[in-house]
Structure 1
């Protein structure tokens, strides 16, 4: 089938691969495609060696840790040392917000619920702490809605602690929930020891996972995300401005968070929309608020200027086929949940390689819309997209003779692979 890639000098190669055969868990190419499907089969081991010599210039930023992501599908447009564990400072408050948002969305917490301000929260995060605070009064009760506004707009440490104690009893118990929740949303490395990112060796994240977390908040909580774009918030008769410097710029910015500690340096997680395209960025480890603001602006502007969306597959278009074991059909067509598109450099010249990866052959019967595997797309030598694939149609279990033939075929393949591994 023909992909719908448009633009100058863009080449797309699509290949289907089985990552774990039922009889032998090894990486292998499969002929699970129908004649004329246009699928090309190439050894997976050769992919990493393919590099486009015509690399685009990096954005003019100084941040030692940075990433720029297409919010729509998570494809990475630029990265710099994004997988090293770093101290997040107040950027950790994004995880606290996500956890609270999740409880609200699932009906376990209401915006009108109130929590008390304990002496611990007041001393460690309130006025006596001389850190960022919403100036919550000792022993007062504050609604979840106001605490969220304090957390996001004022970067209030007391708001975080009040939420932590109100929800889990202690901040340590709350931090354990944050780490657990991080794993649930696809953050395998990040760990949290408190609710607010104040210095603690147990609170560490990666730049990449901060970007994933920001995208999670933007996409999954559209009713609550707009709080990040509010310019100020008043509590206890004290009006404080939003600390995000991007909001004052004419670049479409509407979030998310700044952070600073001596250990972490100055950091920023930002997002902006231009012409219907939303980008998410993270910059960290900078030396001053000015440098942080400049890098945040430059990285977003670089992304909007140099990239544009290209459609790879239309919604509902068959992307490839997976081999079926014991079915009435030998293969099943695969489709994505929706439109498949990626951000590509406007100047062109990049090579795209798309691979269908799944555990197979897939045993019949197969239900329509059953999850089968995923589509992985590389731009030059970097993965820029992972998208789940599902069965486009149902496949019934085959006859006894069909199943017998498939069983013999898999047995022979298994014996061949076992012999090859010994060589």
Structure 2
């Protein structure tokens, strides 16, 4: 049951702090991953269930190909390419990423033309470097410009730390990502391109009469896994981004920096199984319910209600006595006029040092500019927490 453990917060850079109830449920936080970098993300709520060095920069290796695929998916979405668009395999793509390179390859023939649908299978299923380079050249002329495009595209998703220098994930001292941003990138790909995402779950692909298995070990485990990528270069160790669905719940796991492929598979599986087993979902606010209020300066009303786009759900650990700390963050007071539906704040919830929820909040109504007398009275910043207290009092 959500109790009434609630504390009023004062003005601090526009943040209103309050405590969610201590929720009694089994030592979920005793879990520790052996991976140097790890994140477990619940796709439905956006909750981070586990993190370890999640915001530290690391070498992505072939995990970078998730961003390579994102650009291709966007090109298709924008009508610039289709799955039947033919991609030329240049000598550069063949030498750097083909069979003569000794790395991951789809074995495309030099100077041949390959349909984008097959290039994507070579890129995703076989992790082909030749496919990645050929795609980059087709979209941007060369790999360097394509890498700039990769970085721009992830920046547009709000991923501020990851930097790409090539389409393959080959070693480059300036190419770095974070585990958290890889999880968020993967979540975006899954939700935005569900049909194209299915390529990530394809078990095998044959090209040039060479049949290769998908390198993702989670796909062969009976845990509901349906895709994403592995990676490994000398500077990165062994990494994995995977996703699985059980009982309509999707989890996304990132592990990186491990010593071998066996540990990579084991840690990925452990985190997913722990996540499905150790958490339960609670709805804090229904769709359209007021989450809180923001102060408005100079308006005909002194406050405006805030709400999320849909229901606000939290995943909470079974058997834990931890408190969930939450705050509504915005730069305030807002200045009238205020439009209805404007994104003006965020709801942040943390469990210890783990950020479990971070969602935008929107104004529930418009607030017009008030009279001179009303504006003169707007001198005190104060936020009502009545709606939050009411929500936390529910069972």
TM over 0.5: yes
1:347 deviates by 1.3
Q: 2:6 aligns with which of 9, 13, 32?
A: 13
**Contact 1:232–1:239 (8 Å) recurs in 2:** yes
CA deviations on 1:8-64 (whole Å, 9 max, x unpaired) are xx7663756655xxxxxxx3667xxxxxxxxxx66xxxx9xx9x9x96444353211
Report 1:12-411 matches (<5 A). 13=6, 27=13, 56-59=28-31, 61-406=33-378, 409=379
1:282 deviates by 0.6
1:365 deviates by 2.1
Partners of 1:28 and 1:121 in 2: how far apart? 51
**Contact 1:244–1:257 (8 Å) recurs in 2:** yes
| Helix, strand or coil at the partner of 1:110 | coil
Q: Which has the higher mean CA deviation after the structures are superposed, 72-81 or 376-385?
A: 376-385
Q: Which has the higher mean CA deviation after the structures are superposed, 266-275 or 344-353?
A: 344-353
**Contact 2:27–2:320 (8 Å) recurs in 1:** no
**Contact 2:28–2:319 (8 Å) recurs in 1:** no
Partners of 1:336 and 1:15 in 2: how far apart? 21
Partners of 1:126 and 1:211 in 2: how far apart? 29
Gaps of 5+ in 1: 1-5, 20-26, 31-40, 412-423
| Helix, strand or coil at the partner of 1:146 | helix
**Contact 1:66–1:283 (8 Å) recurs in 2:** yes
Closer/same/farther in 2, CA of residues 29 and 134 from structure 1, 3 Å limit = closer
Partners of 1:315 and 1:12 in 2: how far apart? 23
**Contact 2:27–2:318 (8 Å) recurs in 1:** no
Partners of 2:15 and 2:197 in 1: how far apart? 43
Partners of 1:91 and 1:397 in 2: how far apart? 50
- Give the RMSD, CA atoms, in angstroms: 2.3
Partners of 2:344 and 2:367 in 1: how far apart? 13
1:100 deviates by 1.3
Partners of 1:58 and 1:256 in 2: how far apart? 27
Q: Which runs of 4+ in 1 moved over 4 A?
A: 14-19
Partners of 2:247 and 2:276 in 1: how far apart? 9
**Contact 2:243–2:252 (8 Å) recurs in 1:** yes
Q: Work out which of the two has the higher radius of gyration on C-alpha atoms and give 1 or 2.
A: 1
The residue number in structure 2 matching 1:33 is none
**Contact 2:89–2:110 (8 Å) recurs in 1:** yes
| Helix, strand or coil at the partner of 1:324 | strand
CA deviations on 1:171-218 (whole Å, 9 max, x unpaired) are 111111112222111221111111010111121111221111111111
1:358 deviates by 1.2
1:398 deviates by 1.2
1:400 deviates by 2.7
If the length of structure 1 is used for normalisation, what is the TM-score? 0.84
Partners of 2:66 and 2:4 in 1: how far apart? 38
| Helix, strand or coil at the partner of 2:232 | strand
Closer/same/farther in 2, CA of residues 360 and 113 from structure 1, 3 Å limit = same
**Contact 1:115–1:166 (8 Å) recurs in 2:** yes
Partners of 1:29 and 1:155 in 2: how far apart? 44
**Contact 1:94–1:214 (8 Å) recurs in 2:** yes
Q: Which has the higher mean CA deviation after the structures are superposed, 159-168 or 209-218?
A: 209-218
Closer/same/farther in 2, CA of residues 13 and 254 from structure 1, 3 Å limit = farther
Count residues in correspondence.
Answer: 377
CA deviations on 1:112-135 (whole Å, 9 max, x unpaired) are 211211000001001111111111
**Contact 1:326–1:363 (8 Å) recurs in 2:** yes
| Helix, strand or coil at the partner of 1:86 | coil
Gaps of 5+ in 2: 382-395
